Chains A and B, each alone.
Chain A
Amino acid sequence: MTGAEGSLLSFLDAPVIVGDPEGGAVYVNPAFQARFAVTAETARGRSLAELFSGGSREAVLQAVAEVCEHGESVRFRVRERGVGFAAVASPIVAEAARVGVVILLKEEVEGVERLLSLHREIQDPIEELSHSLQMLLDQTGGRRDSRYRSLVEGSVRALARLRRWSEELRVVLSGAPDPILESARFDPGEVVRRVAERALRRIGKAQTAVELLAATSLPAVRGDEARLESVLMRIVEDRLEQEPSPSAIFIGARSAGTGTGAAVLVSVTAHWRNGGCTALPSEPPVLQESIAALGADLHTTIDPELGRTTLLRLPVDAP
């Protein structure tokens, strides 16, 4: 490869790799090095296929063999580290009229998937911020008239709103037209287990106990699993934000009914010590809409002495 060719390839954003007639790597441009975590030195001399993993190796080998045999360009697809690439392998005339291979890769961006992935990454800094604010709040002591404290408390409330909107964004993204997601069969037990784990992390140093009341095997239901998890988490957070906070939160799932009336009842129950459960607002309209979109019936029961339970009834999906 000439110096001019090499410097041209180094400017490309797309990963490029050049192979010799024996299928060994001769050159990888900076974009390839960054994307595939190799250096020019470690790549040189290795088989082209070895720079890829799993099923992609076969695809690369196949493409290289075809280019070598027929002397024509070949299109193919590879997947590396969860990202899809559309690739083209073309012949390149090397010294002594021998034919080498140049492969160019173009990343396939998957819209909603990418946004959901970004949403997941956003959760980490949100959790860190929450933890830091909580520490700051603890350090201000019991000075209620402190302007500093009120600033921190305001930040905590704003963070709570950010978290809620982040979840709604996720609900919207998950609810983007995807008939496969919306009608998928899933285990509601797995959902409540995840919600309980998240609730435990969310509570931190608060005095609220979290309990999971669900058997290990429950009938499967059909619907949007991500939306259900989001709805339940939203309800848990609403309860935690009540003043005073509940003494215990129970996340439950159990079977009810048989035959065509069989259902799974998923619930979030909050207890308050000393009858702290006074008149509480009903679920916000956005949440009610989400629940309706799940195909679930919603019911809230409030007892001044026992607490509040929000129940979702999900019809069992017949096998």
Chain B
Amino acid sequence: MSLTRFFRRSDWDDERARELESYLAIETDENIARGMTPVAARDAARRKLGNATLVREEIYQMNTVTLVDGAWRDLKYGARLLRLNPAFAVVAILSLALGIGANTAIFQLLDAVRIRTLPVKSPEELLEIRIADPVGGRTGQFSGRRPSLTNPLWEQIRDRQQVFAEVFAWNGVGFDLTTSGEARTAQGLWVSGDFFKGLGVPSLVGRTLTADDDRRGCAAPPAVLGYGFWQREYGGDPSIVGRTITLDGHPFGIVGVTPASFFGVEVGRAFDVAVPLCAEPISRGARTALDKKNVWFLGAMGRLNAGVTIEQARAQLQSISAPIFQATLPDYRAEDARHYLEFKVGAYPAGTGISQLRRQYESPLWLLLATTGLVLLIACANLANLMLARATAREREIAVRLAIGASRGRIVRQLLAESLLIAAVGAASGALLAQWLSQFLVDFLRTDNNRVFVALSLDWRIFAFTAVLAVVTCLVFGLAPAVRATGTAPANAMKAGSRGSTDTRERFGVRRALVVAQVALSLVLVVGAVLFVRSLRNLVTLDAGFQQDGILVLNMDLRRTGIPEERRVATFAEITAKLAALPGVASAAQVYIMPVSGSGWNNNIVIDGKKYTENVNFNEVSAGYFRTMGTPILAGRDFDERDTPGAEKAVIVTQLFTQKFFAGQNPIGRTFQVDETPGQPRPLCRIVGVVKDTKYTDLREEFTPLAYFDASQAEKPDPFLQVALRSNAPLTSVTSESLRALGEVNSNIVVQFQTLPSMVRNSLMRERLMATLSGFFGALAALIATIGLYGVMSYMVARRRNEIGIRIALGADRRAVVRMVMREAGMLLVGGVVVGTALAIVAARAASTLLFGLHPGDPATLAMAAAGLGAVAMLASYLPALRAARLEPTEALREE
């Protein structure tokens, strides 16, 4: 039997038909010749030949792979059944598409963020180089998203290591593309010379950077563009090489573009432009960190030499650690220095890159995958229930087929084909839905200041994941009903429908169990949803100590204004005053660290010579800050004209500061010193006021002791200024007025605007994501479970029409009928809620770190979820109950 014949079997069948026809013609001719009438001759010929159809079928079978042909026919039959029952098909396919789509989308994100390796040459050879388990001793300034090393430390490691073929370091930084007015930033990278060579990333256009580009003091360093930036900003111009790009006001010659697949080493970000590390002083000027031993800003990786194991690499790095840290010891306090000298250089697998996004979202994503998995399971249970109902309806048909000799396996296969069809169509639609959904999720995480980039590509893992889901779901919802449907003896099934059949009761038990499971699982999801929504609500409504509405934050870059250091304090005051005087602006004040922005500045303090170990957070603000932010001053005064640069340092502290360090007594007039590193001045700070506690780096944290310095007493401020202003005027008019006012002061000021409410919202991104998605999935699960309950109750009412009819005919109160049905539904619901509550308490523990102000087993949450789900479910079962009560006994009884 050849394959061509298999596909040509209908042609062959035609040929046979003609051949048999020719036999009949010849035989008829001969019969006529023997003297028969034409009609009799033809009949006799037919008798002689026998059953022509059977003959053709026998030959057809010879040309057939029975299994394939059977499967094809089953699928066609399944499709026909689905077409005949569009409501069922739509519900089934839609619920599967939602379930599979959600799972695939979350998995796609997990794949991109957690599983997939960097799109570079042999990513498994890459190791990240950083200090192994640092305990204390890493103080100083930290900047960038991977502040693992200082530059002196990096140079020492680079020069002393022998286990890596290449080592490279980088720092992610924002480059300003403008020179005045509103800022426009590019995602920049300072990279050491071997960055591209070490990663094995070639250039798409021109060349990448080499070690020659990265020489200390480079005057005209080149720049390499990322593919997306090249497309966005230059329309993919192929003659880009040789053009110039202005970064932070300095020209860089473009030498090349990297391929589209390469986004950098940080998963969740895409770099726009990379320049050599030696260009760092060009942007930072006198503040350059290249020789600073306490400015941590570099991340580093290495590519292992051939044949070197990770253990050998670690051992070698450990052996060279002592001289490296000896040579780079910053001016530390004694105990920090001791820790620092004990540090060891470590190496960690980095084939999947590094990622803040991953750290922040890995556990939420796994949790969401579990959630969507449960949704799919509930949808499967629902489908299984529907399939069971359909199988029951086809009981007689199946019984007849079994009775006349169909094998049980053959019928199971046919029933499964229908499930497979639903699963396949559901999975295909789900995969499409997933593309849209995962993009939606990435967009959800993206804000103006946090340009999240996730390379969402379709790889084999995602296809495999979806295919496995489809097959598993098909088996879960299709196999059990199919096996059960064929399990009853034909004789029993033929009798079913008559009164007193017992097997339907048993089958009904399975359907009830499925509903209980659905209610239980959806309760778990509803509890999760309520927990996350309430967490978010707790965070949004908590008293952060300031009034966020109406606050606009201006970040100004004055590096190119040429204003000398000694005039900065005065210029800052001038700018702040000008902004405060704008129409529609109620007040404005300088602020060094904006609350909940994620930045921080802390140190220990010394009171009357006694050193306290508890960390104190600091901030530096100008007079009017507390009025602007709506933070009440509880005692003492705000900063004022008395606090001149030469005068004694004035500080304002928070309530908690007073409680911790002055036992709640009035601290006004008391003094403390900041425990600065040796060699730094330690001026006496006198407390002039007490304000209400406010959140500092993050809304989720507890209040911390906090002290505010006066910005007008600042020593040598950096050329950056941040101003908070309160205004009721429309945002666009305030920003344009501000730009005009700043232009009057100096045309080279670059400014970036942000509203405090949006900063707060963005800081709660993860909570909002979890609340939104778990809310959506919880509602979906509840809906599916409710449909399931409704289906089973309707079915029960339909099955018991006679009984209910008789009851009513014999004078049963219709309310009693409603009660009977509702009792039945209530029992299922209670069963589900009891099981679900137990499951939810266990499951919620997995989410405990993502909750705020709530216990995972919070009784109020459990009660709310159960009550909500219960109310909806009871409403859904009220409809069938009502239908039962309205039953016309004469009709119900006549049907039999």
A and B are interacting partners: no
A interface with B by C-beta (< 8 Å): none
B interface with A by C-beta (< 8 Å): none
